[in-house]
Amino acid sequence: MSAIITLTTDLGLTDAYVAAMKGVIFGINPEAKLIDICHTIKPQNIPQAAFVLSTAYQFFPEKTIHLVVVDPGVGTERRAIILRTPSADFVAPDNGVLSYVLQQCKSVKGRLINNRQQVELKPGMEAVSITKPQFWRSPVSPTFHGRDIFAPVAARLSLGFPPIDFGEAITSVTMLPLPHPYQAPDGSL
């Protein structure tokens, strides 16, 4: 199966980190088609990554898998998730990096926790907390979940594994407060 997997990271291009992730993906699915969206997100800049992803993902074919690794919470208790929408799958940390995707798809219900909103998913969407280590590289580095957790999961999704195989279903995901246009009294934005 030759699914498309996009990559958006803050890993830069001056070392081997992105290549290591690609190597893991090709080791699991040599037929995967990898497309780089961006690897020069400012380090740990979740809002920038969310915005950059939002400017590109909608132009890819249905069933594309979007792998996002901008993860200041690596090695902490933050969840790693798969978000399946009617048009695409997203593999990312649950830190708000999918906020613009959720903005287009979210329901109106949500609760605020630490300035981040937990939004409930609309019907037709599903999310899974990635909790099954049998699908990860071993040992897992405490600082490179992109290579050891996210890349292997994205590769297996590209082979047709259903999201639920990787963990437990969840009903809400993290969304950051997003800027909204402001109309000045003179009518300008």
Higher pLDDT, 101 or 179: 101
Mean pLDDT score, 31-36: 98
CA–CA distance from 128 to each of 16, 18, 31, 173 (Å)? 29, 24, 25, 10
Q: Encode pLDDT of 134-159 as tens digits.
A: 999 999 999 999 999 999 999 999 99
Which stretches within 46-176 are classed as H helix? 46-56, 99-105, 145, 151-158
Q: Encode pLDDT of 67-126 as tens digits.
A: 999 999 898 889 999 999 999 999 999 999 999 998 877 554 565 555 568 888 888 899
Task: Write b or e for each residue in 13-45: b if 16 or more Cβ atoms lie within 10 A of its Cβ, otherwise e.
Answer: eeeebbebbbebbeebbeebebeebbbebeeee
Secondary structure tally for the chain: helices H, strands E: 5, 10
Domains in the chain, CATH or no CATH each: 4-175 (3.40.50.10790)
Helix (H) or strand (E) holding 27: helix 17-28
Note the pLDDT of residue 181: 72
Note the pLDDT of residue 165: 98
CA separation for the pair 93, 80 (Å, rounded): 4
* pTM, full prediction: 0.91
